[in-house]
């Protein structure tokens, strides 16, 4: 029983990591293609810098701050997207859509409300659509990875 829970947790986190990597990859690629791309990395840098200062540390220079922010994004988004595969399998796609849309909307609304400022270019409709769509993509990637892992899992 304990081994099964560990396997379930591991699979959930691994599927969440797939969703987080998909989200981060599309964000990073789009930044190289268009200036209208969502810049959640900037919000991540602001959050990381504030957290370091609050802990009494010195904010590192670029590109180290960006690397830390991306690592933090991958870890937190992996944990978030791991929720997609928790619960009954029949609802995994519903959870993927709900969690992806919620994350995208929150990415647009929350930064300013928690003192991190608006994400760059977030007043543009195209940027808003891309932001929500890409977080949705992360949820769907997590669901697909989770379904694939479960279909290949060995019985205990």
Which pLDDT score is estimated for 3? Answer: 59
Which pLDDT score is estimated for 154? Answer: 46
Number of domains in the chain: 1
Q: Over the stretch 99-144, which tens digit does the pLDDT of each residue have?
A: 999 999 999 999 999 999 999 999 999 999 999 999 999 999 999 9
pTM: 0.89
How far is C-alpha 54 from the geometric centre of its chain's CA atoms? 24
Q: Determine the Cα–Cα distance for residues 58 and 61; give it in Å rounded to an integer.
A: 9
114: which 2 tokens?
């928690």
Instruction: Read off the pLDDT band of 156 (50, 70, 90).
Output: very low
Which uninterrupted H or E stretch holds 121? none
- Counting Cα atoms < 13 Å in the Cβ hemisphere of 136 gives 11
Task: Residue 93: give the domain boundaries.
Answer: 2-152
Q: Is 11 helix (H, G, I), strand (E, B) or coil?
A: helix
Q: Determine the Cα–Cα distance for residues 154 and 146; give it in Å rounded to an integer.
A: 14
Burial environment of residue 123 by CB neighbours within 10 A (0 to 12, 13 to 18, 19 or more): exposed
């Amino acid at each position: 029983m304990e081994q099964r829970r560990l396997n379930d947790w591991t699979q959930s986190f691994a599927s969440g990591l797939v969703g987080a990597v998909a989200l981060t990859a599309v964000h990073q690629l789009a930044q190289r293609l268009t200036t209208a791309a969502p810049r959640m990395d900037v919000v991540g840098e602001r959050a990381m810098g504030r957290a370091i200062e609050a802990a009494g540390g010195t904010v590192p220079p670029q590109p180290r701050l960006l690397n830390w922010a991306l690592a933090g994004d991958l870890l937190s988004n992996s944990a978030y997207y791991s929720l997609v595969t928790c619960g009954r399998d029949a609802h995994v796609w519903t959870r993927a859509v709900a969690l992806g849309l919620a994350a995208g909307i929150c990415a647009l609304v929350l930064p300013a409300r928690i003192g991190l400022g608006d994400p760059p270019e977030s007043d543009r409709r195209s940027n808003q659509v891309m932001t929500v769509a890409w977080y949705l993509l992360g949820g769907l990637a997590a669901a697909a990875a989770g379904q694939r892992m479960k279909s290949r899992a060995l019985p205990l």
